[in-house]
Structure 1
Amino acid sequence: MSNQDPAARRSTLRTEALRVADDVLFPTAAGVDRTGVVPPSHWRALADAGLYGIAAPVEAGGPGLEFGEVTEILEVLVSGCLSTAFTWLQHHGVVISLSRTPNRSLRDELLEPTVTGRLRAGVAYAGVVPTPPRMTATRTDDGWVFTGHAPFVSGWGTVDLLQISARDTETDDVIAAILPTAELPTAVRASPVELTAAAATSTVSLQVDGLPVPDARVVSRVSIDEFFANQNVGVRLNGTLPFGLVRRCTALLDVAGRAPAARRLRERADEARMALDSAMDDATALLAARADAARLALEAVAALVAARGGEALLHGSDAERLFREASFILVAASRPELKDLLVRRFAGEPDSR
């Protein structure tokens, strides 16, 4: 695929995403939900389709996709299988970090295999979001010592690399390091988190007690203000989750003979997507648009449940699974501000802005 001209390569990636979502992921989504395991063939299909490197710039071996092209592919794959796509979604943050890092040796070691999907990556950055932080970094002579708690880390036992972030105890800077999961010492203890939806994400809670992190594994160091300024991109990427659910619900509504309802939900999704994209430079507006998208996903699933009737009450049916997944989307990658917005929307209260 890399030998194609850029326009053809972008078109091929979109086509491949649609094929993988509809022909590989969705037909087995109920089984993944039932067993709580993403089959290795899913990861191979994503890698074979070139979909692990979609966020990488051309100079890093990526396809040079526009941001909207990346988010469309994310939506498409979420529509296939939420567990698979959510785990895979974390990978792209690591690809972006490696493509931008001043740590040339780390970039040379890891960027190419992460772009191709030979190495799969996950992230643990939520420990730096609250104040005081849950994860801290203390400087040593040749690196850092990380200590703290990361409450939700997906892909455990599946990912080869983990990007873990912590706040410097002296400067409050955010230190991010990429570590091979197979080499993590006993200082890192994982406790499974039993989720009611997307359990196959293999999500754990990490307790970190004095984890040595050499400077050679540090991928970035930024001020806390810069860290939060860069979070809009992550909010937008996670904002693809509701639209993926809407895509699948509208497709199933079409099958159920509810084309007008499906058409209106697609129109509303287009409006919500436009609001998200136009708010990329405004964190407050972006979270408001993200809340609207999450609410739309829940309403799309409610429409599907109503259309399917009693069948939707059967454990393992598409509508039942998607309804549980809508609750996951309300909570996953959330923030206190987003929670407040959603509570106000569901309660019929005005936004506190």
Structure 2
Amino acid sequence: MTDTAHPLVTRARRLAAELLVPEAERVDQEGVPASHIEAVKRSGLLGVVAPVEYGGSGAPPAVLRQTAEILAGACCSTWFVQTQHHTPVQTLAQSELSVRERLLGPLSRGEQLSGVAYAHLRSHPRVPVRVRRAGDGWRFDGTVPWYTGWGLNDVMLLAGVTDADEVLFAFVEARDQPGMRASAPLRLAALTAARTVSLELAGLRVPDEAVALRTPYERWAPGDRARTLNANPAVFGIAEAALALLDEEPAGPLRARLADVRRRAYALADHPVPHERAEERLAARAQAFEVLGAATTAAVVAGGGRAMALTSRAQRLAREGLFLLVQGQTPETRRAHLRALAEGASGA
């Protein structure tokens, strides 16, 4: 069976065509509804890379990338909420702690949706969230600047740093509770619909049995760095959606460029050593954004004045493209992208 024939790819296309695309402009303005999340849960897409023995599909990375392209190109806000789920699933699949048996099945089968609250770890050695021992559990204090899916997620994978410079990941219910309060939803230039908040942690108590990972920061960080080096499949999905709004004459050359960058980026993503060829990965990432910017700009130009309306698909895709420029960004990827932009300008 080829990746394009995988049942989850077929389901993703059907979900996009029948629900996500027709509702995308409304969702962009009003927010991702719970009914969209229920549809994603029923589709099986939340278990795309989850172990088969726990109810998932155990599909290869290429299928995860392809379904991500489809969902992001259809409704980036819905994609962004559900894409958070795959990191908790993969964390549990690799964990040997007791929380694995409690949560991996429900998350793999799509019975529950998980969010993530760990991007702040990338600010190390600054520690926005501190974790300390408290009896037979742990106490979290600090601020999570960004948490997506508030009001839609059932649980979250929350991370902080211990006094011994370990990262500690634990599952908590995604709701206001003693020791954790959410801000009002953040108003953003794009993806406000994804229900992003900040979280204030003041003595949030988490039991030992909720911990999924505890490891030195220096051991965890290289794996996280490797993931951020690669081009995001959502970039290709939104670029494809923008090109679909154009006539073939302007779309053709851009589509060829997009296919070339995608091929190279995914070949690098499949390289057996994730941290090798970092410069090539960063270059492909920057080139993917270059094509995305050209595609969404072309869609706005082709749309004319109508593209300035909030109901315009071209304008929504352009804003979503801007969002992806900073989503998952690290100091390293920022420097590489800015360098590529400067080199492009000097070579023009």
Are residues 1:207 and 2:200 paired?
yes
Contact (CA 8 Å) 1:253, 1:304: kept in 2 or not? Answer: yes
Task: Write out per-residue CA displacement over residues 31-70 of structure 1, whole angstroms, 9 at most, x where no aligned residue.
Answer: 01121x1122211221221111012122332212111221
CA gap of 1:312–1:178, structure 2 versus 1, over 3 A, is same
Alpha-carbon shift at residue 168 of structure 1 (Å): 0.8
Alignment of 1:1-353 (within 5 A): 11-35=6-30, 37-104=31-98, 106-130=99-123, 131-169=125-163, 171-182=164-175, 184-232=177-225, 234-235=227-228, 239-254=232-247, 258-274=250-266, 276-277=268-269, 280-282=274-276, 284-285=278-279, 286-348=281-343
Q: Structure 1 residues 264-273 or 214-223, which shifts more?
A: 264-273
Distance (whole Å) between structure 1 residues aligned to residue 50 and residue 74 of structure 2: 23
Instruction: Map Cα deviations across residues 144-169 of structure 1 (whole Å, 9 max, x no partner).
Output: 11111111110011101011001111
C-alpha contact 1:265 1:300 (8 A) present in aligned 2 = no
**TM-score between the two structures when normalised by the length of structure 1:** 0.88
1:339 deviates by 1.7
User: CA offsets, 1:198-234, max 9 Å, x none?
Assistant: 1111001112112111101101112212211221564
1:350 deviates by 9.7
* 3-state SS of 1:312 partner: helix
Could you tell me how far apart the structure 2 residues matched to 1:180 and 1:188 are?
12
Quick check: 1:76–1:247 contact (8 Å CA) kept in 2? no
d(CA) in 2 for partners of 1:159, 1:198: 16
Q: Report the residue type matching 1:12 in the other structure.
A: P
Structure 1 unpaired stretches of 5+: 1-5
Q: Percent identity?
A: 33
- Please give the secondary structure, in 2, of the residue aligned with 1:129: helix
Residue pair 2:254, 2:291 contacting (<8 A) in 1 also: no
Equivalent residues of 2:3, 2:63 under 8 A apart: no
- When the two chains are superposed, the root-mean-square deviation of aligned CA atoms in Å is 2.6
Alpha carbons 1:272, 1:293 under 8 Å: kept: no
TM-score w.r.t. structure 2 length? 0.90
CA distance in 2, matches of 1:273, 1:253: 24
- Give the distance between the partners of 1:122 and 1:224, measured in 2 at CA: 21
Q: Secondary structure at the residue paired with 1:253?
A: coil
Secondary structure (helix, strand or coil) at the match of 1:178 reads: strand
CA distance in 2, matches of 1:248, 1:230: 31
The SS at the match of 2:245 is helix
My pick for the range that moved more, 293-302 or 65-74, is 293-302
Alpha-carbon contact 1:137-1:147 (below 8 Å) kept: yes
Amino acid in structure 2 at the alignment position of 1:63: S
Gap regions ≥5 residues in structure 2: none
- Residues 153-188 of structure 1 show CA distances to partners (whole Å, capped at 9, x for unaligned) of 10011101011001111x211000001124732443
- Which secondary structure state, in structure 2, belongs to the residue aligned with residue 325 of structure 1? helix
CA pair 237-176 structure 1, distance change in 2 beyond 3 A:
farther
